[in-house]
Amino acid sequence: MPTMHFNKLSEAEQERLAILIEECAEVVQVGCKILRHGYESDNNGKLPETNRQQLQRELGDLLHALDRMETAADVSGVELLKRKISKPAHIQPYLHHQGETENADRS
């Protein structure tokens, strides 16, 4: 029988949240490696993937965690989409190096 804790989260909710937090931490870790060593670094051939490939893998894992939470109704996909759409207007005043297109730095 599942136990209810003071936070009123079920064991399944706690597990999904733990997965989300873990995936967020892994994205942060790879992001820090990219800042230090660049996207294409693979630690002089010592790693099987470049930092870019690692980031893509970890972001995919994060998307899976989000999908799992949406499927379980922990979060609303509609609300996530609404925020995704409204975020550019909120962040624009704080951007210094972003062009009109998201891929401006890739040529």
CA-CA distance, 105 to 107, in Å (whole number)? Answer: 6
Domain locations in the chain? 11-94
pLDDT tens-digit series, residues 50-73: 999 999 999 999 999 999 999 999
| Topology of the domain comprising 11-94 | Helix Hairpins (1.10.287)
User: For the segment 17-45, what is each residue's pLDDT rounded down to a tens digit?
Assistant: 999 999 999 999 999 999 999 999 998 88
Distance CA 38, CA 52 (A): 8
